[in-house]
Structure 1
Amino acid sequence: MSGRKNVLYLFDVDGTLTKPRQSISEDLLSFLLDKVKPHARVGLVSGSDYSKILEQMNGERHMSQFDYVFCENGLMYFKNGELQSKQSILNHVGEQKLQKLINFALGYMSKIELPVKRGNFVEFRTGLINFCPVGRSCSQQERDQFAAYDAEHKVREQFVYALQKEFDDYNLTFAMGGQISIDVYPNGWDKTYCLNHVADAGFDEIHFFGDKTDPGGNDHEIYCDGRTIGHKVTSPKDTREQLAACLSI
């Protein structure tokens, strides 16, 4: 692949390469690895942890073919399938502050009335904490139901406001992620964090594709960053069409 341009195409996962929390289609995966990769570097950046991205990319055999994989916004960083570095929110923030944050969030979510509630409301990851009012163990149908309810009633938007107000001195970012949850991480640990890992590569261009690019969405910062060329997409189908247009393939 010595003829590849010195360009990186970087993709959000949920809503961009896959439907939320579902697996990438074989057609799109083949397009990325067989059609796009010969022309440029390809990478993934997600707020999700390694195991979730692995599942969505249909296993390690496929995921290791991406030049870069940035889990949890790049706090866990893989290059050519090999782990390069790992950062921890626990070491950065400390146990006492994290417990106050989690206790407040659990109390807040206990007072929200929704069409349904399931389990797994707090998920502790390496580089961030994920709060989910409906519970991450909800079914796909319940996930979609909550997403529609949230769009009308602004459940997560109000939750973010409450967190920002309560913990304004914690230097944390609260961003809506995917369809159903809120990602919490130290300021600067948004998806722009991953760009630090490729700074020395000297790419002529870095193109980022994401669906949550509006203010408050977890793609917003990297989409607007001066180091990237941002592409707002609405679905995996839209991602493919915009990417094909970029590469004229």
Structure 2
Amino acid sequence: MSHLFVYAKFYQQLHGTPAGSIPSIPAARGLHQCGGLWLPEQFVFLISMELLRNRGRKVITPEMYEFLCELDKKVTVGLVGGSDLCKIREQMGGSAALHRFKHVFTENGLVAYRYDQLICSKDIASHVGEELLQRLINFILRRLSEITLPVKRGTFVEFRKGMLNVSPIGRSCSQAERDAFYTYDKEHKIRETLVEVLRKEFGDCDLQFSIGGQISIDIFPTGWNKCFCLRFLEDYDTIHFFGDKTMKGGNDFEIFSHPRTIGHSVVGPEDTKKQLQDLFFS
């Protein structure tokens, strides 16, 4: 597939232009002028890692991993997630992805890797201070103790390098319990209500609260959302972002609606694969 075909296809899909009315290649999205020459734009497909595994699986399927590797031969693929490095390795089936893909952003990019080399690491404890951190954790634990759910397990507050992750059911729940909570939460809005309470209580503390994944809430300093990783993608002219929590309050919302990105709202790995295929392989 030629670069010109790819860029013409991007132009049609992004601008709704009929095939017969695409402007001359220099005017079409996909080329930019440099020193009198028209050069190809640099694209990156940035994919939320939560989308790469089926709800019933904790690990990406071999088929999905192979698809991403094939895609990465044609356009740069970057991975971004809220989880820490240990969980990202688990979700991706080992450490191979850290070597295979140029950009891997854990904890929203607060801990960032380029071809497995650490290039950034932010620390929430140093940033907000121990006093605020303990006040926040103590408040959360009190609130969670007042919430009754069909089941509760363990690990309600997980301290990560760049954020706190809060789970009303507890992160040690089984996959079946995780799925059941996700359904229960959609009806009873447990996480949404907790986020509203936290925003009211800590509204003057320069913190953000976002619903993420099936069971948790991410808490981090303002600006430390997934948009943080964009500072490591300055060399790219066009950034396509694929996420599922793209609604306001979701942990993909800010990067999905950021002026530097073209946002794609997807639901699960099959839809992600289909949209990627429609954009690049069709």
Q: TM-score, with normalisation over the residues of structure 1?
A: 0.95
* Corresponding residue of 2:209: 174
Return the alpha-carbon distance in structure 1 between the equivalents of residues 97 and 85 of structure 2: 13
Question: What residue is the counterpart of 1:186 in the other structure?
Answer: 221
Cα distance, 1:244 vs. partner? 0.5
Deviation of 1:5 (Å):
6.4
Matched, 1:154 2:195: no
Give the superposition deviation at 1:85.
1.4
Distance in 1 between residues matched to 2:116 and 2:279, nearest whole Å: 26
Q: Flag the 1:80–1:5 CA change in 2: closer, same or farther, 3 A.
A: farther
**1:218 equivalenced with 2:251 (yes/no):** yes
One-letter amino acid of the counterpart of residue 157, structure 1: E
Letter in 1 for 2:149: L
> Aligned equivalents of 1:5 and 1:144: distance in 2?
41
- Between the aligned partners of 2:82 and 2:259, the Cα distance in structure 1 is 21
Summarize the alignment of residues 1-249 of structure 1 with structure 2, pairs less than 5 Å apart. Answer: 6-14=42-50, 16-20=51-55, 22-33=58-69, 35-199=70-234, 201=235, 203-249=236-282
- Per-residue Cα deviation, 1:122-181 (whole angstroms, up to 9, x for no partner): 000000001100000000011011111100000000000000000011110000010001
Higher relative contact order, structure no. (Cα contacts within 8 Å, ≥ 6 residues apart) = 1
Q: CA deviation at 1:19?
A: 2.9
Q: Secondary structure at the match of 2:250?
A: coil
Shift of 1:220: 0.5
Counterpart of 2:72, as a letter, is: K
Q: Kindly state the Cα deviation for residue 13 of structure 1 after the two structures are TM-superposed.
A: 1.1
| Higher alpha-carbon Rg | 2
Counterparts of 2:252 and 2:197, CA distance in 1: 21
> SS at the partner of 2:277?
helix
1:204-248 deviation line (CA, Å, top 9, x unaligned): 211100000000100000000010110100110000000011102
1:118 corresponds to which letter in structure 2? R
Tell me the SS of whatever aligns to 1:64: helix
Equivalent residue of 1:109, what SS?
Answer: helix
Residue 18 of structure 1 deviates from its aligned partner by 1.4
- C-alpha contact 1:176 1:183 (8 A) present in aligned 2: yes
* Cα distance change on mapping 1:248 and 1:5 into 2, 3 Å: farther
Q: SS in structure 2 opposite 1:189?
A: coil
Q: Which amino acid aligns with 2:211?
A: M
Q: Secondary structure at 2:147's aligned position in 1?
A: coil
Cα-Cα RMSD: 1.3
1:47-93: CA deviation from partner (whole Å, max 9, x where unpaired)? 10001011111111233201100110001010011111111001100
CA distance in 2, matches of 1:72, 1:19: 20
Q: Deviations over 1:18-51 (max 9, x none)?
A: 1357111110110011x21111111111110001
One-letter identity of the residue aligned with 1:80: Y
In structure 1, stretches of 5+ residues that fail to align are none
Asked if the contact 1:5/1:39 (under 8 Å) is kept, the reply is no
1:113 CA displacement: 0.4
How many residues align? The count is 243
